[in-house]
Amino acid sequence: MLATQPSHPYLKGWWPPGHALGWEHSFVHQARDFMIAAGGGEKMIPDFSDGLECIAVLEAVAESARSRAWTPVRHGASGKGNAND
């Protein structure tokens, strides 16, 4: 990632523009976003329900691969989406 544009959300936290940020720096960004959200009472995005939806999709993919048939995503634990998603 190149943090070169003034609009880059993490530009102020790093060295001068033009220096590459690697994969490992995303964890610093994640920790920063979490601390800001937790300290300010803001909603963290993604949240637990988003993670739960990802797991539901991955389980449906794995079941489809095993059964070699269409497997709908089982929503309901988080209340998002419907069976046609």
**pLDDT tens digits for 48-73?**
889 999 999 999 999 999 999 999 99
On whether both 54 and 67 belong to a single domain, the answer is yes
Give the structural domain span for 63.
46-85
On whether both 14 and 51 belong to a single domain, the answer is no
Read off the tokens for 43.
């909603």
For the chain, how many structural domains are there in total? 2
Neighbour tally for 54: CB within 10 Å: 11
d(CA 21, CA 2): 6
Instruction: Report in angstroms the alpha-carbon separations of 62 from 66, 68, 85.
Output: 6, 10, 16
Of residues 3 and 82, which shows the higher confidence score? 3
User: How much of the chain exceeds pLDDT 70, in percent?
Assistant: 81
User: Which pLDDT does position 76 carry in this prediction?
Assistant: 62
Of residues 5 and 67, which shows the higher confidence score? 67
User: Which pLDDT does position 68 carry in this prediction?
Assistant: 94
Neighbour tally for 29: CB within 10 Å: 15
User: Which pLDDT does position 24 carry in this prediction?
Assistant: 81
